[in-house]
Amino acid sequence: MSNEDYRRAADVASATGETLPTGREFAPDEISGLIVDCVKDPTPAGARDAAMISLMYSCGLRRDEVANLTLDNYDPETGRLAVVGKRAKERTAYLTN
C-alpha cells in the first residue's frame, strides 16, 4: 500500500454502532405472576424461588448477590441486608414490610 493510499484509508471515519441492552424490564404483573407460580409449588424450592424473585425485585439485587446471601447477612431487627456485589463490593439493602 502506498503512503498516499494509507493516508486516504486512515482518513475514513470509523463506523459507530449501538449496543442494545441485554434483557428487558419485567412489568409488575409479570413479577406477581412469577411469585404466584412459585408459591403454588409446595416444595421448599417454590418458597426459595419466591423469596429470590422478591429480593431481586424489591431490593434490586442481582442473581449472584441473592445466591450468595446467608442468614448472617440479615439483621431482622432493622431489616438490613449486607450484600456483597460485583468485585467484592459491599453495600446495604433493606427489606420493607
Running along the chain, 97 residues long, what does each successive block of 10 average in pLDDT? 84 81 88 96 96 92 93 93 91 88
Helix, strand, or coil (residue 83):
strand
The helix (run of H) or strand (run of E) holding residue 84 is strand 80-84
Query: Is the separation of the CB atoms in 82 and 90 below 8 Å?
Result: yes
- Is the residue at 4 inside a domain? no
* pLDDT value of position 3: 86
Residue 41 has φ and ψ, to the nearest 5°, of -75, 115
- Is the residue at 78 inside a domain? yes
* pLDDT value of position 4: 86
Which grid cell is 41? Answer: 409449588
* pLDDT value of position 85: 87
- Is the residue at 12 inside a domain? no
Distance CA 95, CA 80 (A): 6
The structural domain count of the chain equals 1
* pLDDT value of position 18: 84
